[in-house]
Structure 1
Amino acid sequence: MEQPRWVDAAAVRRSVSPDRARRLIRRELADGFDPASDPHRLVAPVGDGQLLVMPSTNGRSAGVKVLSVAPGNPARGLDRIQAVYVLLDADTLSPSVLVDGTAVTALRTPAVSAVAVDALAPAEVTSAVVFGSGPQALGHAEALLAIRHTSSVTVVGRRGEAARAMAQRISGLASTHPLTTRGLTVDDPQVEAAVREAQVVVTATSAATPVLDDDWVADGACVVAIGSHEPHRRELGSALLGRSLVVVEDVGTAHREAGDVILAAAQGALDWADVRTLQDVVLGRVERATDRPNVFKSVGMAWQDLVIAQHVGRA
Structure 2
Amino acid sequence: MSATRIPWIDAASLRQALPWPHVVDTLESAIRDGASRRDLPPRTGVPVTAGELLLMPAEVGVDVGVKVVAVHDGSAGPAVPRIQGVHVAFDGVTLAPTAVLEARTLTLLRTAGLSALAVRHLAPGPARSLALFGTGPQSVAHALAIDSVRPLEHVWVIGRRPESVETVVEQLGDAGIAAVSGTPADIASADIVACCTTAADPLFDSRALRPQATVVAVGSHSPTRREVDAALVRRATVIVESRPSALTEAGDIVIAIDDGVPAGTAIDGDLGDLVRGDVTIHTDRPRLFKSVGEAWADVVVASAAVREVLASTAVV
Instruction: Bin the TM-score by the shorter chain.
Output: over 0.9
Cα distance in 1 between the residues matched to 2:264 and 2:64: 31
Whether the 8 Å CA contact 1:136–1:204 is kept in 2: the answer is: yes
Structure 1 counterpart of 2:226: 234
1:165–1:183 contact (8 Å) kept in structure 2: no
Contact 1:36 1:253 in 2 (8 A): no
Q: Which of residues 204, 209, 216 in structure 1 aligns to 2:201? A: 209
Residue 223 of structure 1: aligned partner: 215
Deviates more, 1:136-145 or 1:41-50: 41-50
Contact 1:133 1:157 in 2 (8 A): yes
Q: CA deviation at 1:4?
A: 1.5
Residue equivalent to 1:181: 179
Kept in 2, the 8 Å contact 1:49–1:68? The answer is yes
Superimposed CA distance per residue, residues 7-43 of structure 1 (whole angstroms, 9 cap, x where no aligned partner) = 1111111111112101100110112334342221111
Find the counterpart in structure 2 of residue 264 from structure 1: 256
- 1:172 maps onto 2:159 in alignment: no
Residue 133 in structure 1 maps to residue 135 in structure 2: yes
Quote how far apart the aligned CAs of 1:97 are: 0.6
- For residues 312 and 73 of structure 1, the distance between their equivalents in structure 2, rounded to whole angstroms, comes to 33
SS in 1 for 2:94: coil
Report if the CA contact (8 A) 2:64-2:299 is conserved: yes
C-alpha change, 1:79 and 1:309, in structure 2 (3 Å) is same
Residue type of the alignment partner of 1:181: A
Q: Report which stretch shifted further, 48-57 or 203-212.
A: 48-57
Which of 232, 240, 253 matches 1:248?
240
Please tell me whether residue 64 in structure 1 is matched to residue 57 in structure 2: no
- Report 1:1-315 matches (<5 A): 1=2, 2-47=4-49, 49-72=51-74, 75-174=77-176, 179-184=177-182, 190-192=183-185, 194-275=186-267, 276-315=269-308
Instruction: Return the letter of the residue paired with 1:307.
Output: V
CA–CA distance in structure 1, aligned partners of residues 208 and 290 of structure 2: 17
Give me the whole-angstrom Cα distance separating, in 2, the residues matched to 1:100 and 1:80.
14
Aligned counterparts of 1:295 and 1:48: Cα–Cα separation in 2:
33
1:66–1:241: structure 2 CA closer, same or farther, 3 Å change rule? same
Flag the 1:214–1:34 CA change in 2: closer, same or farther, 3 A: closer
CA contact (8 A) 1:51 1:66 kept: yes
**Other structure's SS at 2:13 match:** helix
Question: 1:73 & 1:107 partners in 2: Cα distance?
Answer: 26
How far apart, in 2, do the equivalents of 1:296 and 1:314 lie? 29
Between 271-280 and 139-148, the greater mean CA deviation after superposition: 271-280
Partner SS for 1:215: helix
Inter-CA distance 155–71: structure 2 relative to 1 (3 Å threshold): farther
Q: Could you tell me how far apart the structure 2 residues matched to 1:130 and 1:144 are?
A: 11
Give, in whole Å, the separation in 2 of the partners of 1:266 and 1:137. Answer: 29
The structure 1 segments of at least 4 consecutive aligned residues displaced by more than 6 Å after TM superposition are none
Displacement of 1:91 = 1.5
Aligned-residue CA RMSD (Å): 1.5
Alignment length (residue pairs) = 305
Unaligned runs of 5+ in 2: 309-316
Work out the CA distance in 2 between the residues paired with 1:73 and 1:169. Answer: 26
Contact 1:124 1:149 in 2 (8 A): no
| TM superposition shift of 1:230 | 0.5
Q: For structure 1, list consecutive stretches of 5 or more residues without a partner in the other structure.
A: 185-189
**Contact in 2 for aligned 1:36/1:252 (Cα 8 Å):** no
SS in 2 for 1:76: coil
* Structure 2 Cα separation of the partners of residues 74 and 120 of structure 1: 40
Q: Deviations over 1:211-236 (max 9, x none)?
A: 11121212111000000000101011
Secondary structure (helix, strand or coil) at the match of 1:75 reads: coil
TM-score scaled to structure 1, two decimals?
0.93
